[in-house]
């Protein structure tokens, strides 16, 4: 029994000797973990902000081109106007596809994305939105004459366009999030 007690005392002495080193190693591991986690969280937040600002800038540029075309059509209509309008719609739909990709990869907030897709649903279904005299639906139909009709996001947009309320859009985007 005294051998067991002696071994126990030796073990306690050894642990006491290494206690500082073990505590230091645990602290280093914890600090590294927290540092990596915080860095990742900050990088993700920064990327989300950058995506949002880039999308906002691109959308503003698209709307500006649409406004300029609308003004030109009112004062100096041309046979090329429909093609110009479709090119602006193509930029819009390309932006939407980029936003879907960003949303799927957690770089776009769900609430922001839902509001944006709901807005697109209303512009499509309302029939009043036009660029250069070309309706949203006609712009979409023109988009579908390109290879974009085979893109993985086209069915998602088609489902959103048949929605009639925000809850339907929310259900639709909820089914394709990674």
For tokens 């712009």, name the residue: 139
d(CA 109, CA 99): 10
Q: What is the pLDDT of residues 64-90, one digit of tens each?
A: 999 999 999 999 988 999 999 999 999
Average pLDDT over residues 46-73: 90
CA neighbor of 82 nearest in space, from 95, 69, 71? 69
pLDDT at 6: 76
CA neighbor of 142 nearest in space, from 87, 96, 100, 97? 87
The dihedral through the CA atoms of 115, 117, 118, 122 has a sign that is: positive
Q: Is the pLDDT of residue 40 over 70?
A: no
Q: Is the pLDDT of residue 39 over 70?
A: yes
List Cα–Cα distances, 129 to 18, 88, 121, 124, in angstroms: 74, 13, 11, 7
d(CA 138, CA 146): 13
The tokens of 118 are what?
């709901």
Average pLDDT over residues 154-161: 95
The tokens of 94 are what?
């390309």
Q: What is the pLDDT of residues 8-27, one digit of tens each?
A: 777 777 677 767 777 777 77
CA neighbor of 62 nearest in space, from 44, 37, 87, 39? 87
Count Cα neighbours of 5 within 13 Å in the Cβ-side half-sphere.
Answer: 2
Query: Which tops the pLDDT comparison, 122 or 37?
Result: 122
Q: Is the pLDDT of residue 98 over 60?
A: yes
d(CA 155, CA 162): 11
> Which pTM does this prediction carry?
0.76
Q: Do 158 and 100 form a contact (C-beta atoms < 8 A)?
A: no
User: What is the average pLDDT score of the chain?
Assistant: 88
Q: Is the pLDDT of residue 41 over 70?
A: no
Count Cα neighbours of 110 within 13 Å in the Cβ-side half-sphere.
Answer: 11
Lowest mean pLDDT of 35-49, 62-76, 160-174, name the range.
35-49
Average pLDDT over residues 124-143: 94
Q: Is the pLDDT of residue 178 over 60?
A: no
pLDDT at 1: 64
Share of the chain above pLDDT 70, in %: 95
Residue 131 pairs in a beta bridge with 134
Share of the chain above pLDDT 90, in %: 59
């Amino acid at each position: 029994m005294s051998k067991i007690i002696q071994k126990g005392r030796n073990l306690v002495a050894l642990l006491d000797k290494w206690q500082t080193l073990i505590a230091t190693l645990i602290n280093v591991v914890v600090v590294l973990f927290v540092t990596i986690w915080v860095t990742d969280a900050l990088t993700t937040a920064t990327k989300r902000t950058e995506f949002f600002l880039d999308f906002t800038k691109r959308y503003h540029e698209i709307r500006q081109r649409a406004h300029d075309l609308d003004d030109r059509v009112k004062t100096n209509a041309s046979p090329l106007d429909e093609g110009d309008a479709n090119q602006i719609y193509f930029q819009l739909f390309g932006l939407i596809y980029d936003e879907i990709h960003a949303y799927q990869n957690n770089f776009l907030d769900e609430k922001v994305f839902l509001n944006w897709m709901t807005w697109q649903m209303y512009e499509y279904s309302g029939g009043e939105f036009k660029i250069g005299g070309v309706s949203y639906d006609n712009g979409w139909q023109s988009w579908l004459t390109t290879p974009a009709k085979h893109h993985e996001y086209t069915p998602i947009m088609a489902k959103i366009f048949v929605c009639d309320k925000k809850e339907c859009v929310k259900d639709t985007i909820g089914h394709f999030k990674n």
